[in-house]
Chains A and B, each alone.
Chain A
C-alpha cells in the first residue's frame, strides 16, 4: 500500500532529486579514481575506456547523464522557488494573509477593550 502523499507529483519531484543526488554522490569517487589513473597507470585507464565502449556501459553512461540532468533541472526549479521574486499573484496572497491577520487582531482588540 502506497502512502497517499507518495502519489503526489511534488513527492516524485523530491524523491527524484534525492535519489539522483545519492546515485551521483556514489558515482563521484569512482569517476575521480578512474580519471586519476592517468597519473599512475595510463594503460589501465585506456583499457577501462576501451571497456566503456561496450553498449551496456554506454547505456549506463546514458543513465548517469540522465540522472545529472534530473538533478540539475530539479535543482534549478528549487532555486527558482526559493530565490526568484514572487509573482504578482503570490504577492497578492501574501498581502491578503497580512490583511486577514490584521482584521482578526482588530476584532480581538475591539472586543477586548469594549
Chain B
C-alpha cells in the first residue's frame, strides 16, 4: 500500500541507483578477477572520499527502496496494515541503513585490524 510520496520516493531512489548499480556491477566484474581479499578491497576503498560518497549514496537509496518494496509485499501477501505496516517499513529502513553505513564506514574510513 503506497501513498503518492512513497510511490515517488520509490521512483526517485530507483533513478538515483540506476547509474550506481551499473557502476557497482562494473566494479564487481573488475574486482572479482583473481579473487577478493580484505586487503585488496581496502586498498581500493580505504581513505577514498569518492567511494565513500558512491557507496554512502547507494546505501541511503537502497535502504529506502528495499523498505518500500518489502512494504508492498508484506501488505499484499500478509495483509499487514496500519501501525504494523508503518513499523515494519521503518524497522526495515533503519536496519538496512545501519548495517549499510557501518559497512561503508568499515571499508572507507576505519579499515579495521589491517
Contact = CB atoms under 8 A, between A and B. Distances in A.
B70 A79 contact: no
9 contacts: A21-B66, A31-B103, A35-B103, A38-B111, A38-B112, A41-B112, A61-B32, A65-B28, A69-B25
Secondary structure at the A interface, as helix, strand, loop or mixed, is: helix
Interface of A: 18, 21-22, 24-25, 28-29, 31-33, 35-43, 45-46, 49, 52-53, 61, 65, 68-69, 72, 75-76, 79, 82-83
Given A39-B110, A42-B113, A82-B11, A32 B100 contact: yes
A39 B69 contact: no
Contacts of A79: 11, 14-15, 18
A53 B35 contact: yes
Nearest to B46: A38
Contacts of B14: 75, 79
